[in-house]
Amino acid sequence: MAGCLAGKVALVTGASRGIGRAIAKQLASDGALVAVHYGQSKTAADDTLAAIKAAGGDGFLVQGDVGEMTGIANIFRELDAALAARGIERFDILVNNAGVGVVGDVGTTSEADFDKAFAVNVKGLLFVTQQAVPRLRDGGRIINISSMVSHNAYPAFIAYAASKAAVDSITLSLAAGLGSRKITVNAVAPGATATDFIGELDDQFMGAIKSATALGEIGKAGDIASVVAFLASPAGGWVTGERIRASGGMHL
């Protein structure tokens, strides 16, 4: 498939559903060969890959739990094998999208939920990136999916918000550290987005979200994918170390 990412290879973590699926499909439609990562549901990942191929794109699956070092090792073992089979040694774009949400305020957050949020959202992101960096071509792209909650007060999601604030901090350090290789590193911070990640929204909650958003709508997964695709493209090559809010103007 021709496009601005023709000849590029991308790895998208958590690509079996929601925002990750939309990102994988968008990058493939722009011409990239996409490694569709999943943690548990191969069926859902197969659906993502089928949608990519039905639209004329190409990709393959890789599996592993990003919250475990053994799972991360498996992701890159499968990635290396799939690329080698195609005569490819390195890749170009890493999208750290895999994440978990946990609910709880300062009084109700459990240690288990805190550990889960940081294991996947922070530890997983950092060590996936650690494995990716030696495999990335110079001039590559790293795009981390953060959240609006990282810079706003969300008492009922205190551990999740803290984990996404850590993602923003890691993004800055990576951008500074990898600049000499012309690898850009940015974070995209979605606002409320209509995916199964946030579950079913009742009319009252939907209305509250819309009223807090300048554009008066709740986001769609494709809205986030478009921002990621820009950062992955040649047009985004002069942007690094940024946290881009893709929220329709929440909390302005």
Query: For the chain, how far is it from start to end, CA to CA, in angstroms?
Result: 39
Active site residues: 160
58-63 sheet: strands from edge to edge: 58-63, 33-38, 9-12, 91-96, 136-145, 184-190, 243-246
Q: For residue 183, which phi and psi values (nearest 5 degrees)?
A: -90, 120
Closest Cα partner for 148 from 160, 137, 136? 160
Report the SS3 class of residue 10.
strand
Q: Which of 117, 112, 122 is nearest to 101 (CA)?
A: 117
124, 98 contact by CB (below 8 A): yes
Residue 206 host element (H or E) = helix 203-211
Number of alpha carbons in the 13 Å side-chain half-sphere of residue 104 = 17
Q: How far apart are CA 150 and CA 245, in angstroms?
A: 11
Q: Which residue has the tokens 């990640």?
A: 197
